[in-house]
Amino acid sequence: MDRLLNAVKAIGEPTRLRLLALCAEGDLTVSELVQIVGQSQPRVSRHLKVLCESGVLERFREGSWIFHRLSSDAGAWVGCLLESLPRESETLVLDRRRLAEVKAERAAAAQAYFEANAEQWDKIRSFHIDDKEVEAALLNILGKPPYGDILDIGVGTGRILELLTPFIRSGTGIDQSREMLAIARARLEEAASNCSVRQGDIYQIPFADESFDLAVIHQVLHYAEEPDRALKEAARVLRPGGRLVVVDFTPHDLEALREEHKHRRLGFADKELSAWFEKAGLKESKKKKLAGDPLTVGLWTAQRAAETE
pLDDT digits (tens, 9 = 90+) for 232-259: 999 999 999 999 999 999 999 888 888 8
Helix or strand (DSSP H, E) at 170? strand 170-175
| Residue 186: how many other CB atoms lie within 10 Å | 12
pLDDT digits (tens, 9 = 90+) for 30-61: 999 999 999 999 999 999 999 999 889 988 87
Q: Which of 240, 239, 246, 308 is nearest to 277 (CA)?
A: 246
The percentage of the chain sitting over the pLDDT mark of 90, rounded to a whole number, equals 59
Predicted confidence at residue 141, as pLDDT, reads 97
Give the C-alpha separation, 20 to 54, whole Å: 12
Q: Which of 222, 274, 290 is nearest to 65 (CA)?
A: 222
Q: Are 103 and 225 in contact (CB under 8 A)?
A: yes
Predicted confidence at residue 25, as pLDDT, reads 86
Residue 40 φ then ψ, to 5°: -70, 155
Predicted confidence at residue 192, as pLDDT, reads 85
- Looking at the predicted structure, is the pLDDT value of residue 308 above 60? no
Q: Are 71 and 53 in contact (CB under 8 A)?
A: no
Q: Where are the alpha helices (DSSP H) in 38-130?
A: 41-54, 76-83, 90-117, 121-126
Q: Are 210 and 238 in contact (CB under 8 A)?
A: yes
Q: What torsion, rounded to 10 degrees, do the Cα atoms 157, 118, 235, 131 define? A: 50
Q: What are the E-state strand segments in 179-290?
A: 195-199, 212-218, 238-249, 282-290
Give the C-alpha separation, 33 to 40, whole Å: 10
Q: β-pairing, 195-199 with 238-249? A: unpaired
Give, in degrees to the nearest 5, the angle at Cα 118 between 113 and 121. Answer: 95
Sorting pLDDT into bands at 50, 70 and 90, what band is 66? confident
The mean pLDDT of the chain is 89
Rg for the chain (alpha carbons), in Å?
A: 21
- Looking at the predicted structure, is the pLDDT value of residue 107 above 90? no
pLDDT digits (tens, 9 = 90+) for 200-221: 999 999 999 999 999 999 999 9
| Residue 260: how many other CB atoms lie within 10 Å | 10
10 Å CB burial of residue 204 (0-12, 13-18, 19+) is: exposed
Give the domains, in start order, of the chain with CATH numbers.
Answer: 2-85 (1.10.10.10), 119-304 (3.40.50.150)
Q: Are 198 and 174 in contact (CB under 8 A)?
A: yes
Average pLDDT over residues 278-306: 94
Question: By three-state DSSP, how is residue 69 classified?
Answer: strand
